[in-house]
Amino acid sequence: MRATRLVPLLAAVVALPLTSAAGFAAHADPPRGPVFENGEAQPVFDPGEVVRDKLWVTAPVDSDHDGAKDKVYVEVVRPKATENGLRVPVVYQASPYYSGGNPIENHDVDVELYVPGKRGHGPGKGAAASSVGLAGPSAADIGWRYEEYFTSRGFAVVYAESLGTGKSTGCPTTGGENETIGARSVVDWLNGRAPAADAAGSPVEADWTTGRTAMMGVSYNGTLPNAVASTGVEGLETIVPIAAISNWYDYYRENGAVVAPGGYQGEDADVLAEYVYTREDRDICRPVIDRLTERQDRITGDYSRFWHERNYLDDVHKVRASVLAVHGLSDWNVTVSQVANWYEALRRHGVEHKIWLHQSGHADPISLRRQEWLSTLNKWYSHYLYDVDNGIEREPKSTVQREDGSWTDEADWPAPGTRDARVYPWPGGTGKGRLDLRHRVPGWANVERLSDDASKTVGQLVDLPRSGNRLAYSTGPAKKPVRLSGTPEVSLGLAFDHPAANVTAVLVDRAPDGSSQVITRGWTDPQNRWSEGWTTPIRTGKTYRISFELQPNDYLLQPGHKLEFVLVSSDHDFTLRPDPGTGLALDLTRTSIELPVRGGTWALRRSF
Active site residues: 219, 331, 362
Q: How many CB atoms lie within 10 A of CB 580?
A: 14
Q: What is the dihedral of CA 327, 94, 131, 262, to 10 degrees?
A: -10
List 409's β-bridge partners, or say none. 399
Cβ neighbours of residue 58 under 8 Å, at least 6 residues apart? 69, 70, 71, 72, 185, 194, 195, 196, 197
Does a cis peptide bond (omega within 30 degrees of 0) precede residue 261? no
Contact 576, 113 (CB under 8 A): yes
Question: What does the DSSP assignment read for 200-218?
Answer: TS-B---TTEEEEEEEEEE
End-to-end CA distance of the chain: 40
Half-sphere exposure of 359 (CA within 13 A, CB side): 12
List 584's β-bridge partners, or say none. 450, 496
Helix (H) or strand (E) holding 242: strand 236-242
- Cα gap 529→82, rounded to integer Å: 58
- Cα gap 275→2, rounded to integer Å: 7
Contact 81, 30 (CB under 8 A): yes
List 510's β-bridge partners, or say none. 516, 562
